[in-house]
Amino acid sequence: MSSPESGLAAALKSVVEGRAFPMAQWSADWGSPETFGLRISGEQVQVPPDWVALRQDRILSHLDVDGRAWIKRLVLLPVAGSTNDLAMEEARERDIEGLVLHAEMQTAGRGRRGRAWTSPLGGSLSLTLGFDWPGPVSTLSGLSPVVGLAVLDALLLAGAKDIGLKWPNDLLTGQGKLAGVLIELLPAEGTTRVVVGVGINLRVSGAQRAQVDQPIDDLESVCGGVLPDRSVLLATLVSHLARFVLAFRSAGFESFAGTYDAHHLAHSREVTVREGDRERTVHVLGIAPDGGLKVQSADGVEVLHGGEVSLRLRS
């Protein structure tokens, strides 16, 4: 007998690929179809009437010169547990430089510190890029804020307004979290395989907001109610991420520091820092040359690094 997860994935795939799924076969254990961005029409679960699938030819044609030079394989999936997990599976077997994975829906998406990331149909972009990194893991210090900056720049180009960064790589608006990044590493012989996952809220319903344990916003709202073409947006993101990451790989983080500080919502402000079960208030001085966060605390000036460190902006 199929597991509940595999049954749900099969049902979602059936809907996304254009075959309506019978509501009578929809398990109550899966939750409401609406939480996945789907609709109930009569006795069938269907895609929303305004949903348009991503087009591979359109994505490839809108890559800029950096994106076209970097990309090797673009995989568009109807449903996945987690695109990062799929990329990590590939990384255990082969090189992943130039790999791009996107899933229309994720059933087991993850954010930093193990948080769930909701990916309803048409409501988000959930993509993962693969890079093969020469040299030791220590040379990757600073990658996380660079990726956040690349996503920010791409969204500004797409028409987003009033968005900023929260160290190291969250994108926020005045209403809540707009996008997040999850970077995972796999050391291999002579290299480190780097999996960069990006999740962006495109259009969020009330039902989906109720599932999330923090305030969130969506791209449609910050683009004045007009959602950008998803295929063009994905191409813009891939192009920016390739360009920013390759520039960081060749020159390090220092050249990005000034731009990062200019977009960092906590720059020159007091924030609450949480490290495990400990919370304290510090004053943010700026991004450090290695991508850490330079702060003034009661103990003096120090540099924070990612992992189990998280920030909360203070009003």
Residue spans in the chain of domains classed CATH 3.30.930.10: 56-259
- Which amino acid would we find at residue 214? Q
pLDDT over 50 (residue 223): yes
Residue 36 confidence (pLDDT): 85
Determine the average pLDDT of the residues in 218-246: 97
Percent of the chain at pLDDT exceeding 90: 69
User: Which one is predicted more confidently, 78 or 117?
Assistant: 78
Confidence of residue 2 (pLDDT cuts 50, 70, 90): very low
Confidence of residue 115 (pLDDT cuts 50, 70, 90): low
Confidence of residue 232 (pLDDT cuts 50, 70, 90): very high
User: Which one is predicted more confidently, 28 or 213?
Assistant: 28
The CATH number fitting domain 266-313, selected from 3.90.1150.10, 2.60.120.380, 2.30.30.100, 1.10.287.3610: 2.30.30.100
Closest CA to 264 of 169, 195, 125, 153: 169
The CA distance from 204 to 191, in Å, is: 39
Handedness of CA 305, 172, 248, 73 (dihedral sign): positive
The predicted model scores a pTM of 0.91
Query: Average pLDDT over the chain, rounded to whole?
Result: 90
Helix (H) or strand (E) holding 240: helix 230-251
Q: How many residues are there in the chain?
A: 315
The CA distance from 259 to 70, in Å, is: 24
Residue 208 confidence (pLDDT): 66
pLDDT tens by residue, 162-188 = 999 999 999 999 999 999 999 999 998
Comparing 52-66, 97-111, 271-285, which segment has the lowest mean pLDDT?
97-111
Residue 110 confidence (pLDDT): 58
* Tokens of residue 289, six digits: 């040359």
Structural Rg of the chain based on CA atoms? 20
The CA distance from 245 to 174, in Å, is: 28
Residue 116 confidence (pLDDT): 53
Phi, psi of 101, rounded to the nearest 5 degrees: -120, 135
What's the number of CA atoms in the CB half-sphere (13 Å) around residue 182? 21
The CATH fold assigned to 56-259 is BirA Bifunctional Protein; domain 2 (3.30.930)
Q: Is the peptide bond before 168 cis (omega within 30 degrees of 0)?
A: yes
Instruction: Quickly count: other Cβ atoms within 10 Å of residue 62's Cβ.
Output: 19
Residue 4 confidence (pLDDT): 47
Residue 224 confidence (pLDDT): 94
Comparing 45-49, 81-85, 112-116, 208-212, which segment has the lowest mean pLDDT?
112-116
pLDDT over 70 (residue 303): yes
Residue spans in the chain of domains classed CATH 2.30.30.100: 266-313
Comparing 89-93, 116-120, 242-246, 255-259, which segment has the lowest mean pLDDT?
116-120
pLDDT tens by residue, 138-156 = 889 999 999 999 999 999 9
pLDDT tens by residue, 31-52 = 889 888 899 999 999 998 888 9
The CA distance from 196 to 214, in Å, is: 23
Percent of the chain at pLDDT exceeding 70: 93
Residue 219 and residue 151 in contact, taking contact as beta carbons nearer than 8 Å: no
Residue 119 confidence (pLDDT): 75
Instruction: Quickly count: other Cβ atoms within 10 Å of residue 23's Cβ.
Output: 14
